[in-house]
């Protein structure tokens, strides 16, 4: 079981690394910046899997609910929570201020508008989908190598 967890963790950590490395490459960034982004992504995904994903697998296994549906849902929610935290820390509106992007008001008197909430949710949903994909890869490798 330890062997299957180890390989599933390593392979699942490589998936977001490839995704973000590809994004940086196609955006035309230089290679050193893309390599740095890949290294940071690998470390962050490895930590997420070790600190949140593996305990979630053990919990699902303990309550006898470790299957495709539960593991994909768990991956989605873990990813979306990370995406929400990341989005929230990047653009918290100041109290009582208003600002706009082009002709669209994003915040009016410190209250987010629908446009700003849309911009806030898109990264969260993207991280949720990435979490779903990573958890699917993790579970595939884990099941294949499990004794």
* 3 state SS of 29: coil
**What are the residues whose beta carbons fall under 8 Å from the beta carbon of 47, sequence distance 6 or more?**
none
Cα–Cα distance for residue pair 31/97, rounded to 1 Å: 39
28: alpha, beta or left, given left = phi > 0 and alpha = psi -120 to 50?
left
User: Where does the pLDDT of residue 89 fall: very low under 50, low under 70, confident under 90, or very high at 90 and above?
Assistant: low
Task: Give pLDDT, residue 71.
Answer: 94
Number of domains the chain contains: 1
Range of the domain at 93: 2-145
pLDDT greater than 90 at residue 69: yes
pLDDT bin (cut points 50, 70, 90) of residue 123 is: confident
Return the sign of the alpha-carbon dihedral for residues 46, 48, 52, 56. negative
pLDDT of 96 strictly over 70: no
């Amino acid at each position: 079981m330890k062997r299957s967890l180890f390989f599933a963790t390593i392979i699942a950590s490589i998936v977001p690394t490839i995704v973000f490395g590809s994004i940086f490459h196609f955006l035309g960034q230089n290679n050193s910046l893309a390599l740095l982004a890949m290294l940071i992504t690998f470390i962050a995904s490895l930590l997420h899997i070790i600190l949140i994903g593996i305990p979630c697998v053990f919990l699902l296994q303990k309550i006898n609910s470790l299957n495709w549906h539960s593991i994909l849902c768990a991956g989605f929610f873990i990813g979306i929570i990370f995406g929400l935290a990341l989005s929230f820390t990047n653009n918290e509106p100041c109290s009582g201020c208003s600002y706009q992007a082009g002709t669209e008001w994003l915040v009016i008197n410190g209250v987010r508008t629908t446009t700003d909430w849309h911009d806030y949710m898109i990264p969260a949903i993207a991280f949720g989908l990435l979490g779903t994909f990573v958890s699917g890869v993790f579970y595939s490798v884990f099941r294949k190598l499990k004794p």
